[in-house]
Structure 1
C-alpha cells in the first residue's frame, strides 16, 4: 500500500464519499404538517419507506469511491487486474455516474406537503463532486498532482561541513580529543602531537605490548629493523589497495565532468540496481510523489540516493521531473 501514490483527485473522491455517508442520516423527505397528530415529519435514507434510494444512491456512490481508492492503493500491481474487462477504478467511475443519475431522478415528483430535505440535496452535491473527481482524476492536471510530496531540504543530504566534525564536537581543534590535545582524563603532558612522535603509542608508532622493549630505553637493534619491515609491508599493502581501487574505477563508467547533484521525481515506480553490479538484485524502489537526489551520472543512467542513504543506479531516466 503506497499512500504517496494518492492524488488530489483521490482525496476529493474520499471526501465526497464521507459527505455522502453523512447525508444518508440526514432528513431525505420532510412533511409540511402542523398539529399534535402529525408525528414524525422527516425520514432519512435508511428508512425502508424510501427503498431503493439507499442502495441506488448512497451505497452505490460509497462503493464507487471504495473501488477507486483500492485501485490507487494497489498501484502498478493492479494495472492488469480486470473484472469483466474493466479495472476497479473504471467500475468505480461507472458506479458514481449511475448513483448521480439515480439521485437526480429522485428529486423529481413528490406529493403536496412533502418535500426533499437537506439529505437529498447534500447527496446530489456529494455525487457531483464524486463523479467529477472520478472521471476527471486522470484528465485534469490539477487533480493529477500528488497529494503528499516530501521533498527534503538540499542540505539534509550532506552532513554539515562536508563530513567534518561540527564546531563544539570532539575532534574540533581546541576541543578535547583532537590531535595534539588531551582527551578526558589524559595527562596534558602526554598529548599525541608531532613533538611526541617518538614516544610509545605516538602518531605513526605502535603502542608497546606488555614486556616489549620501548625505543630509546635499551631495546635491541633488531626491534628497530622489525619496525622498519612492518612499515614497508604496510606501505606495500596501501599501494596494492590503491592500484586495485584505480583498476575498479577504470572499469566503471566515468561520471560526467560537469555534473551537479539535483532533485528529481519519477512518473512511475522504478527499481534501483546496485552501484557496483547494475544487473544485480534491486536495492530499492523509486515511487511517484517523492523527490530523490541524483548524486552521479553514468552515461544515460543516474545514481540516486534514497531517504535512508541507500544509493543505486537508475537505468530508466525517461520522463523524470527535475526539481
Structure 2
C-alpha cells in the first residue's frame, strides 16, 4: 500500500496486521507466550525440580566440601563439632546437673550423643534454609532454575554431614555395649523421615528468610529453646514424672523428639520401647509428610518473587 503526501512524495505503509486490536493477553495466548519468570503449575514445578536433581546433588556436595576448606583439620570438623557439643552437654547436664537420672551410665552417653547429632541435623537444616535464598541472591538473579533447588540442596548437605557423624555414633554405641543387630536397620527409615521433615522446614524458612533477613539472628534462640524441650540431654518421661501427662505428651510428640527416640531405640540396646510414645512411627510419618507438603507448596507460591525487590 502507498499514500501520497501534500508535496507529492509517495510513502509506503504496512498492510494491516491480523493481530491489530488484540490485547496482550490474547496475543500471548494465540502464540503460546508466557510471562518471563512466571510461576509454573505445581506439577510442572515438581517436574522441573526433578530435572535439576544432578545440580542439587552437586551443589550440596560442593557446599559440604567448602564448608571447612579454610580450617586446618578440614572435614574432621564435621564430626568433631557435634562431638565436642556432646562432651560439653555431658559435663554440664550429665555430671553437674545429673539429668541422666533414670538412665544407666552405659546408656546415657550414647543417648546424649544420639540426641545431639540428630537435633543438630534439624537445627542446621533450618539455619541453612533461612539463608538459602537471601544468601544466594547472585545465583538466583543470574540463572533460571526452580528456586526450591537451593533449600533442598542445603537440607541434603546436612544429611551428608550427619552420615559422617553416624560413624562416630556407631563407635560410641559399640563402646558402651550396644552391638549391631537387626534393629539398627530402623535407623534408615527414621533418618529418611527426618530428612523429609527437615526439607519441608528448610523450604518454609527459605521463603520467610528471603524477605526477612533478620530471621537469621532470631532463629538460634528459637532452636535453642526447641532443643531444651526435646529431651536431647534428658529423658522426658523421667524428668516429667509426677507432672500432668499432657505436658510430657506435648514434648514427646514434638517431631525432633520423635526422630531422636526412634534412632535411640534402634541403636541403643538399653533404650527399650517403654521410652517411646504410642504410635511413634505413625507420628513420625505424619510429621514428615505434612511439613514436607506444606513447606513445598508454601515455597512454590512465592516462586516468581525470589530475588526481586
Q: Calculate the TM-score normalised by the size of structure 2.
A: 0.23
Q: Calculate the TM-score normalised by the size of structure 1.
A: 0.22
More strand by share: 1
Q: Relative CO higher for 1 or 2, CA cutoff 8 Å, sep ≥ 6?
A: 2
